[in-house]
Amino acid sequence: MNEIYLDNATTTQLDPWVAEEMRPWLLEKYAAPTGHFGHQASLEAKEKLEQARAAIAESINAQPEEIVFTSGGTEANNLAIQGYLKSLKKPVHVVTTAIEQESVLNTLRALQKDGVELTEVGVDQDGFIKLEEFNAALRPETVLCSVQLVNQEVGTIQPLAQIGRICAEKSIPLHTDAVHGWGMVGLDVKKMNLSLAALTAHKIHGPKGIGALYKRKDVKLSPIMYGGYNEFELRPGTENLPGAAGMAKAIGMMKPEHIEHIDKLRRMMWGAIGSQIPWVHLNGSVDRGAPHILNVTFDYIEGESILLRLDMQGIAVATGSACFSKALEASYVLLAMGRPHEQAHGSMRFSFSRFNTDEEIAKTLDALKEIVSDLRKLSPLTPRKEA
């Protein structure tokens, strides 16, 4: 494992306290949480599942019966979008943004083959939705809007409360992929007028393989999988009780002081990069961005070259470069923000957690300055007078 882990927007370390919360439900109290079998072990498991459901609901100002457990954020987004559109049984129009996570964009694009009409609204140079364009895209036949809470690459926080008011005025349900924002920035489903919201545990030091969908009481969904009658007849299969217990524990451990620490690390990182390394560009916004994501472009060099050199020194980061994309394309998020291909190829994402330290950031900065300098000396693109 890398000595310094700065790829927390991909996944996070499981908090030891979360692991302890899960342990009894893995090894000792392992009955299925069905409750209707009647034996005490099953009833106890069911009670624990409902406690977890209530804790997750409370974290977003929802009711327990509005939380449906899933295998993660991807399934939650699919259940929200496919389940809602399937329930309508008519030609529909959906509005989203050009920088949504793949589980939203690819789901909607696939549904176009079934007759769903899709409008992808643009964003500005910092990744914020163009509200005038969004307003103009709404039509009488628009049945759903999907706008993420926090962007997965650049950390932009979308103005969901404002977007929610617009949708509410037009009686259009609003879905959000809140996977990269839940626990990191404010999420209140009532204040934001949300109809559907996808959550996951492994971005906030919870376990992988568990997520949840917030579904407002009056929103009707059709199941997209079939089997038993679990999770309000919307998600068949035995519930992942250890995962649900861990998810509830994880959100309960996200404290304001942790967010302040994470934000301090991000600002420390950008302050040093911006002042000590030439030819760099911030992608997104420091003051209006999520506390845990920093995306920077280093001109004249490829992102994967930086990543590999950092990895050799035990430092884990992420890049939007084409060589690390199965589609062999530059970051579609940065391209949508108006960045040229060469800048999109040189982008790096540093993402932080409460387990990172000031010392780790200092070590990363020292390594980064040396690596960028060396790579620019080798790059034929670097202006020779200042290389």
Classify the phi-psi angles of 132: left when phi > 0, otherwise alpha if psi is within -120 to 50, otherwise beta.
Answer: alpha
Rounded to the nearest 10 degrees, the angle between the axes of helix 303-312 and helix 358-378 is 130
pLDDT at 105: 97
- Start-to-end Cα distance in the chain: 34
Residues with active-site annotation: 323
| Domain spans of the chain, in order of start | 16-252, 255-386
Rounded Cα gap, residues 367 and 228, in angstroms? 53
Residues of the chain with pLDDT under 50: 386-387
- Give the angle 259-266-322 at the CA atoms, nearest 5°: 120
Give Cβ neighbours of residue 354 (< 8 Å, ≥ 6 apart): 205, 258, 261, 262
Give Cβ neighbours of residue 155 (< 8 Å, ≥ 6 apart): 9, 180, 284, 285, 289, 290, 292, 293, 294, 295
Rounded Cα gap, residues 143 and 15, in angstroms? 40
The DSSP bridge partners found for residue 198 are: 177, 213
Query: In Å, how far from its chain's centre is CA 372?
Result: 28
Rounded Cα gap, residues 218 and 274, in angstroms? 48
CATH 3.90.1150.10 fits 255-386, yes or no: yes
- Read off φ and ψ for residue 288, nearest 5 degrees: -115, 20
The residue to which tokens 């449906």 are assigned: 68
How many other C-beta atoms lie within 10 A of the C-beta of residue 71?
16
Asked if domains 16-252 and 255-386 share a fold, the reply is: no
Q: Which helix H or strand E contains 95, and what residues bound it? A: strand 93-97
Do the bridges between strand 117-121 and strand 93-97 make them parallel or antiparallel, or are there none, so unpaired?
parallel
Q: Quick check: 270 and 64 in contact, CB under 8 A?
A: no
Residue 71 to residues 76, 213, 272, 330, Cα–Cα distance (Å)? 8, 10, 39, 29
Q: Quick check: 191 and 61 in contact, CB under 8 A?
A: yes
- Read off φ and ψ for residue 367, nearest 5 degrees: -65, -40
CATH class of 16-252: alpha beta
How many other C-beta atoms lie within 10 A of the C-beta of residue 218?
7
pLDDT at 279: 94
- Read off φ and ψ for residue 16, nearest 5 degrees: -55, -35
**DSSP track, 4-45:** EE-BTTT--PPPHHHHHHHHHHHHT----TT-TT--HHHHHH
What residue type is assigned to position 358 of the chain? D
**Radius of gyration of the chain from its Cα atoms, rounded to whole angstroms:** 22
What residue type is assigned to position 379 of the chain? S
Classify the phi-psi angles of 343: left when phi > 0, otherwise alpha if psi is within -120 to 50, otherwise beta.
Answer: alpha
pTM over cut 0.75: yes
Rounded Cα gap, residues 154 and 164, in angstroms? 22
